[in-house]
Amino acid sequence: MAGRRTFFFEGLGVSDGIAIGPAYVIESEDFRTESWQIGESEVDGEVQRFRDAVELAAAELRDIRQQVEEKIDRQQASIFDAHLLILEDPQIVDETIARIRGERRNAEAVLWEVTQQIGEMMKSLGDSYFAERNHDLYDVSRRVIKFLLRLYAQSHPSLPREGCIVVANDLGPAETAQFSKDHVLGLCTNEGAATSHAAIMAKALSIPACVGLEFVTHYIRSGDVLILDGQEGKVILNPTPDQIEYYNQKADEWRERVDSLRALRDLPAVTTDGVHVAMMANLEFPGELDTVDLNGAEGIGLFRTEFMYLDRGSLPSEDDHLRSYGHVLAKLDDKPVIMRTIDIGGDKLPSDQPVHEFNPFMGMRAIRLCLHRPDLFRAQLRAMATAHAGREFNVMIPMVSGLTELRESRNILEDILDRLEREGLNLPSKVNLGAMVEIPSAALQARTLCEEADFLSIGTNDLVQYALAVDRTNKAVATLYKQTHPAVLQLIKMIVDGAGETRTPVSVCGEMASDPRLAVLLVGLGIRSLSMSPSSIGAVKQVLRNISCADAEAIAAEALRQDTPEDVEVLLHFRLKELQSKIDQEAVG
440 binding Mg ion? (CB under 5 A): no
Member of 341, 351, 445, 460 binding ligand PEP (CB under 6 A): 460
Out of 83, 156, 197, 485, which one is annotated catalytic? 197
The backbone torsions φ and ψ at residue 278, rounded to the nearest 5 degrees and listed phi first, read -70, 130
CB 509 within 8 A of CB 580: no
Distances (CA, A) of 571 to 408, 464, 484, 544, 566: 43, 20, 11, 17, 9
The upper half-sphere exposure of residue 423, i.e. CA atoms within 13 Å in the direction of its Cβ, equals 11
Is 462 a residue that touches Mg ion (CB under 5 A)?
yes
C-beta of 229 vs 343, nearer to ligand PEP: 343
Stretch that binds ligand PEP, among 19-27, 47-55, 133-141, 456-464 (CB under 6 A): 456-464
Minimum CB separation of residue 366 from ligand PEP in Å reads 8
Q: How many residues does the chain have?
A: 589
Residues 6+ apart with CB under 8 A from 461: 195, 200, 438, 472, 510, 511
Residue 401 in contact with ligand PEP, rule: CB under 6 A: no
Q: How many angstroms separate the CA atoms of 239 and 225, rounded?
A: 7
Tell the smallest beta-carbon distance from residue 208 to ligand PEP (Å): 20
Instruction: Give the three-state DSSP class for 520.
Output: helix
Q: Which of 531, 579, 511, 584 has the alpha carbon at shortest distance from 257?
A: 584
Q: Shortest distance, CB of residue 399 to Mg ion, whole angstroms?
A: 7
Is residue 298 at the binding interface for Mg ion, with CB under 5 A as the rule? no
What whole-number distance in Å separates Cα of residue 426 and Cα of residue 186? 45
Q: Which does 206 bind (CB under 5 to 8 A by kind): ligand PEP, Mg ion, none?
A: none
Query: Inter-axis angle of helices 565-588 and 549-560, to 10 degrees?
Result: 160
Q: Return the residue of 428, 434, 498, 510 that touches ligand PEP, per CB under 6 A.
A: 510
For the bound state, the minimum distance from the C-beta of residue 304 to ligand PEP, rounded and expressed in Å, comes to 5
Give the separation between CA 416 and CA 561, rounded to whole angstroms.
47
| 450 has catalytic annotation | no
Quick check: 438 binds ligand PEP (CB under 6 A)? yes
- Laid out side by side, the sheet with 184-189 consists of 7-10, 234-237, 225-229, 18-26, 164-168, 184-189, 209-211, 12-15
Q: Binding to ligand PEP by residue 170, rule CB under 6 A?
A: no
Alpha helices in 236-339 (DSSP H): 241-262, 289-294, 318-332
User: 114 touches which of Mg ion, ligand PEP, none (CB within 5 to 8 A by kind)?
Assistant: none
Site for Mg ion contains 459 (CB under 5 A): yes
- Judged by CB, which is closer to ligand PEP: 60, or 438? 438
Which range of residues in 110-118, 325-333, 460-468, 476-484 is near ligand PEP by CB under 6 A? Answer: 460-468
Q: How far apart are CA 501 and CA 445, in angstroms?
A: 13
Q: Angle formed by the axes of helices 549-560 and 516-524, to 10°?
A: 90
- 343 touches ligand PEP (CB under 6 A): yes
Per DSSP, which regions of 459-511 are E strands?
Answer: 506-508
Does position 509 bind ligand PEP by CB under 6 A?
A: yes
* Residue with Cβ nearer Mg ion (54 or 400): 400
* Residue 135 appears among annotated catalytic residues: no
| Smaller CB separation from ligand PEP, 115 or 291 | 291
Judged by CB under 6 A, the residue of 192, 459, 498, 565 near ligand PEP is 459
Beta carbon nearer to ligand PEP, 92 or 302? 302
In whole angstroms, how far apart are CA 18 and each of 21, 33, 244, 277, 540?
Answer: 10, 31, 11, 30, 20
Closest CB to Mg ion among residues 462, 551: 462
User: Which CB atom, from 164 or from 366, has the smaller least distance to ligand PEP?
Assistant: 366
Q: Which of 383, 382, 316, 384 is nearest to 344 (CA)?
A: 316
Contact between 438 and Mg ion per CB under 5 A: yes
52 binds ligand PEP (CB under 6 A): no
Dist CA 401 CA 533 (whole Å)? 25
Of residues 304 and 493, the one with the C-beta less far from ligand PEP: 304
Q: Which of 32, 49, 234, 304 binds ligand PEP (CB under 6 A)?
A: 304
Find the shortest distance in angstroms from Cβ 104 to ligand PEP. 40
Total residues contacting ligand PEP by CB under 6 A comes to 10
**What are the residues binding ligand PEP (CB under 6 A)?**
302, 304, 343, 438, 459-462, 509-510
**What are the residues binding Mg ion (CB under 5 A)?**
438, 459, 462
Which residues are part of the catalytic machinery?
A: 197, 509
